[in-house]
Amino acid sequence: MTIREYHRPATLEEALALLGRTEVKSAPLGGGTALNGLPEDEPEAVVDLQSLGLDSTSKEENTLTIGAMTTLNGLTEDDSVPPMLRELSHREAPNTIRNAATIGGTIGVVSPESGLLAGLLAYNARVTVVNQTGSNEVSLGNLFADSSHLDSGIITSVSVPTGGAGAYEHTARTPADIPIVLIAGHAVGSGSIQLAATGVGETPIIIDPRQIGALEPQPDFRGSADYRRHLADVLSQRVLSRLELEGNP
C-alpha cells in the first residue's frame, strides 16, 4: 500500500470534502492500527480524524453515546459503559493496541472475530454516519449488511442502551487466544434477550438460538463448521441461562 497524501482536517466539513473527492481514493484514519482498503482498491490518501473532537461520551436518559474516536482503553476505563462492553473492549486487543484503536475504526474494519462488535450487536447499537448530504443513524447490523452507508462518510458516534444485563461466553484454544466462537447477549425487561456471535459468519451477526443449525460458518484450522455450530449452541444456552438468572434473582 502506497499512501501519497496525509490530511489532518480541523473540521468535520473539511474531512468530508477530502473524503468526497472523486479524483483521489481516500480513506478515513482513526487510531491508525488498521486501515480500510482492499488490495485491489487501495486508498491513495488518508484523512486523519484525530482533530475532530469525536472522542467524548455522553449519557442522556437510558442511552449512552460514545464518540467514534474513543479508544478501546477509553471504553475499558469508562464506568458509564455497560460492564460487558468494557470487558469485551479489554479482550479486543493488547494494551498497546487498545491505547490507539478506536470504536469507530473497529466498526469500520469489521473483523469477523471481534467480540466487541458482537457485544455492540447484542446491545442493538446504533451508529451515526455523517456525509456531505447529512447525518444518518443506522443499526450496526444494517451497517454490516450494507457497507454503502459508509461511502464517503464518517462514523461520528455509537449509541447503546444503558439498561438491562449483559453476558458473554466464548471458547478459545488458550485463555489469551482469539475465540473460536463467542456469544454475547443482552437482556432487557422480562424475556427479551438478543444474542450475537462471532466465528459463525463473515461478520459478527445477530443469531436466533432456535436456528443455529441453519448457520453456515466457514471452517478453518481451529474448527470445522459442525464444531462451530456446536459451540454456538452450547455457548448460547450458557448465556441465556446466565441472563435468565440475573433477570430472576
pLDDT of residue 246: 67
Mean pLDDT of 141-152: 87
Contact between residue 223 and residue 232 where contact means Cβ atoms under 8 Å apart: no
Taking alpha carbons only, the member of 122, 45, 44 closest to residue 83 is 122
Kindly give, in sequence order, each residue whose CB lies less than 8 Å from that of residue 23, ignoring residues fewer than 6 positions away: none
pLDDT of residue 39: 44
pLDDT of residue 37: 43
pLDDT of residue 36: 47
Taking alpha carbons only, the member of 112, 234, 114 closest to residue 171 is 234
Taking each helix axis as running N to C, give the angle between helix 83-92 and helix 115-122, from 0 to 180 degrees, rounded to the nearest 10.
160
pLDDT tens-digit map of 172-209: 999 888 999 999 999 987 678 999 999 999 999 999 99
pLDDT of residue 133: 85
- CA-to-CA distance for 25 and 5, rounded, in angstroms? 10
Tell me the domains of the chain and their CATH numbers. Answer: 5-48 (no CATH), 57-161 (3.30.465.10), 165-247 (3.30.390.50)
Task: For residue 151, name the pLDDT band (cuts at 50, 70, 90).
Answer: confident
Taking alpha carbons only, the member of 132, 120, 126 closest to residue 88 is 120
- CA-to-CA distance for 137 and 158, rounded, in angstroms? 9
Tell me the β-bridge partners of 186.
166, 194
